[in-house]
A and B are shown apart, each in its own frame.
Chain A
Amino acid sequence: MPVGMTEDQKLMSDSVRKFIQENYDHRTRIQTTESETGFNQSHWALFAEQGWLSAAVTEENGGLGLTDCDTVVLVEELGRGNFSSPFWSSAIFAGEILSKAGDNEIAANILQKMLAGEVMVSVAYAEPNARFTLAAVETEATQVGGGYRLSGEKHVVMWAGCSDHLIVTARTSGKRDDKNGITLFLVDTHSEGVSLTSYETNDGQRASNIILDGVLVDENAVLGIQEEGYQLFEQACDRAMLFLAAEAVGCIGALHDQTLDYLKQREQFGRPIAKFQVMQHMMVDMNTELQTATAMVYAAAHHRSLDIPDTEKSRMISAAKAQVGWSGRKVGEMAIQLHGGIGMTYELPIGHYHKRLVAIDRTLGDADFHLRRFQKLDSQAAGI
């Protein structure tokens, strides 16, 4: 955190750190990520109990009433522990969409259950030919009777395998890349016509490719306004990305601290290798990246609370996302290099942080994508 935390932030940060220290050391992480589900259900229950699942949700929706900076502090600690779970995909990303979906009793119900740790929700938006363009939706939603029939393909849907519900972006009109004509739907994962191919990810998480083959939903399945789902979705992506970038800051911080410790302990040529100038300069570079990434994320969080145009807020978030992408990769690679041979091992946490940072960079648009968005938003031109 670039400036002093508030008392509350310190308390929250400490309790998350304590949770990680007592329940999620690296050995435990390996066991957990290699288990069948990839996460520990009892951790989930504890998160619900602590209210952490409600971190990103407004008070009137049952959340903790945290500011964006507060939530960044919490998520940063989870990143520092490389905590691998549906927390971001369900509590943050899906939670954001559900809580902003307007008057939908079913959605509100599911949100409450999700905050209580009873169900999980995944957002199915990315399609195989879309790369990172949010509006490149080919999944179709055709009106049928009083409801809709959904058909299409989504890939890399995080933690869909343990989710009871899916939020799906589908096209009710227009052609691919049109921002108009996109509608958000709430779909029961076990509906007829939904099939999942689930797999592990490189960073120890779980994801699925999903085929929707004539999946029937009724009109209550629409989240927000029909045909106008894009704006709600894009705003939710912005907010979710901010917290994803916050997680990356935690990972970068852990890589920095662990590498510094190692350099001070490891002796070659009769002294700690931290005494060699080349090591010192590389470590200083890592430190600079850490400070830059951290400051950019907290600045983006702070700017969200200001009375400035939305495009500027979005621009700050894209800047933060791009920055953690660059810094994350650089720091991940340097940490391995500075550890030498041991940096290549599975047993050391270092490689696992690096893999998480690559996955974060690749989610909701990589650094290049966000650099482009940063560029486009400069002239206040619309959208991505």
Chain B
Amino acid sequence: MELHFHEDLADFRQEVRRFLRTNLPHEVRDRFRRGMAINREVMASWHDKLVEKGWAARAWPKEYGGAGMSETEQYIFHQEMASEGAPLGHLSWGFSLVAPTVLEYGTEEQKQRFLPDILNGRTYWCQGFSEPNSGSDLASLKCRADRDGDHYVINGTKIWTSYALQSDWMFGIFRTSVEDRPQKGITMLFIDMNSSGIDVKPIKTLEGGAEINQTFFTDVRVPVENRIGDEGQGWDISKFQLTRERYNVAQVAVTKHLLNRLKRIASEETSSYGTLMDDPDFSRALYKFELELTAFEAVEHYLIYDPNNTDTVDADKMTILKIRGSELHQEVTRLTMDALGYMAIPYFPAPDALLSNEVLIGPVHAAGMANEYYNTRKTTIYGGTNEIQKNIVAKGVLGM
């Protein structure tokens, strides 16, 4: 169901849609639709088109190569990106988390140094926050950054680092002091992943994937110029980054895309009623979900809606987007698993494998769906568990 908001920006939406339909490479769209990884070269060729159009860095000020789009324009743009099958992929962190941090807290020298390679899509970033003993209680983190002349020396470990192996740089928070409250002794550093002393070990996830890692630091030397903000400011900066996560609006559009895929699958799966779409019970569950997703999209619209362009954000209020959005994302993968019947049982190699001459185990639409269901269990955990998020809403929004 398509909601119609921002009709005053209808022309802009059409322009974006036309651009995407003309320029998005078929391979990117296809692989995104099938939940497959997109390699760096392919992403780069697509990214270059965005750069050429001036739309790669939508939120940045124009003086740094950005498009200077308003909040609403960015929101519309991201919706169209996701519904056309144009993922930000691994590059999204550079744009949505690192760049705003540099723009807000970085020195002019740091802006000149880091922004261009983010803008041109040549740098992949990973996040170094969680530690084995500091998950929900992130402020208790222990990975040390000790000052030694014009360097910090890092010792310790970070865990759940997504895509660390494929990343060029890490933005992380480290302990520079134990004197005061834990939050006050945390500092943000940008680390070149090629530095000596860094060891990345992949962690296999329950469905067999390897996107997350544990990163070990042994006397890793990081120049002081790679510190963002002041010593002891790291905690505040990480909280600032959380407010940027509201731009995860693509979640709704991604979930919609998964719902459309589910409808296609249900039309292909047979049952004693004909197809699964003809099955009244399944159909009811599917449309109930669509209704809930539509309602959630409306929630998202009204939370982000900023008609007077005040550019102020109540980050705590945005938290509900993460809570409900992650639950809905999980629900559609669950329904998709249900749709598969017996075909939820076989282990399908990642959809990539179907491109070679392997014998098909089942219908093409089943490939990768179980893996996706299991992997999506993470959405209510990463970025702060939904339980923690609810605490934030209770305290920060409801004043409890």
- Give the B-binding residues of A (Cβ under 8 A): 126, 128-133, 136, 155-156, 177, 197, 199-203, 207, 209, 267-269, 273, 278-279, 329, 333, 336-337, 340-341, 343-348, 350-352, 354-355, 358-359, 362-363, 366, 368, 372
User: B258 an interface residue at 8 Å Cβ cutoff?
Assistant: no
Task: Tell which of B212, B362, B370 touches A155, judged by Cβ atoms closer than 8 Å.
Answer: B362
B206 touches A346 (CB 8 A): yes
Question: Are the C-beta atoms of A358 and B281 separated by less than 8 Å?
Answer: no
- A-contact 0/1 string along B379-400, CB 8 Å cutoff: 0111001110010000000000
- CB-CB under 8 A for A131 and B270, given A268-B140, A346-B205: yes
The answer to whether B374 has its CB under 8 Å from any CB of chain A is yes
Contact B345 A201 (CB under 8 A): yes
Contact of A177 among B205, B272, B380 (CB under 8 A): B272
Q: Flag B250-274 by CB within 8 Å of A: 1 or 0 each.
A: 0000000000000000000111100
Residues 181-207 of chain B: 1 if any A CB is under 8 Å from the residue's CB, otherwise 0?
A: 000000000000000000000011111
Give chain A residues whose Cβ lies under 8 Å from the Cβ of B135: 268, 340-341
CB distance from B255 to the nearest CB of A (A): 17
Say whether, besides A197-B359, A209-B361, A268-B136, A343 and B381 are in contact (CB < 8 Å).
Answer: yes
Binds A, one of B22-30, B83-91, B295-303, B336-344: B336-344
What are 9 residue pairs bridging A and B, where the CB atoms are less than 8 Å apart in the complex? A131-B271, A131-B341, A131-B342, A155-B342, A203-B345, A336-B381, A358-B344, A359-B345, A368-B338
Residues on B lying within 8 angstroms of A by beta carbon are 130, 133-137, 140, 159-160, 203-208, 212, 269-272, 276, 281-282, 334, 337-338, 341-347, 359, 361-362, 370, 374, 377-378, 380-382, 385-387, 390
- Contact of A345 with B272 at beta-carbon distance under 8 Å, contacts A337-B380, A368-B281 already known: no
- C-alpha gap A346/B207 in the complex (Å): 7
Q: Check B347–A200 contact: CB distance below 8 A.
A: yes
The 3 closest A-B pairs by CB, nearest first: A351-B206, A346-B204, A268-B137
Q: Is the CB of B381 within 8 A of A197?
A: no
Q: How many inter-chain contacts with C-beta < 8 Å in the A-B complex?
A: 127
Taking the closest CB of chain A, its distance from the CB of B335, in whole angstroms, is 11
In contact, B377 and A347 (Cβ under 8 angstroms): no
Residue of chain A at shortest CB distance from B135 = A340
- Inter-subunit contact A199/B361 (CB<8 Å): yes
CB distance from B128 to the nearest CB of A (A): 14
Do B361 and A347 have beta carbons less than 8 Å apart? no
Using CB atoms, name the residue of chain B closest to A282. Answer: B387
Say whether, besides A268-B135, A341-B130, A372-B281, A199 and B347 are in contact (CB < 8 Å).
Answer: yes
Kindly provide the distance from the CB of B140 to the nearest chain A CB, expressed in whole angstroms: 7
Cross-chain contact of B212 among A273, A343, A344 (Cβ < 8 A): A344
B139, closest chain A residue (CB):
A269
**How many angstroms from the CA of A59 to the CA of B269 in the assembled complex?**
43
- Give the Cβ gap from A187 to chain B, nearest Cβ, in Å: 20
- Look across to chain A and name the residue whose beta carbon is closest to the beta carbon of B134: A268
Is A156 a contact partner of B346 (Cβ separation < 8 A)? Answer: yes
* Chain A residue nearest in CB terms to B282: A368
Cβ of B345 and Cβ of A363 under 8 Å apart?
A: yes
A197→B348 CA distance, assembly (Å):
13
A346 / chain B contacts, CB cutoff of 8 Å = 203-206, 208
Contacts of A337 in B (CB 8 A): 377, 380-381, 385-386
B378 to chain A, nearest CB (A): 5
Inter-chain contact B377/A336, CB cutoff 8 Å: yes
A337, B330: Cα distance in complex, Å? 12
Tell me whether A131 and B272 are in contact (CB under 8 A).
yes
A372 to B282, CA, bound (A): 12
Q: For A354, list chain B residues within 8 Å (CB).
A: 206, 374
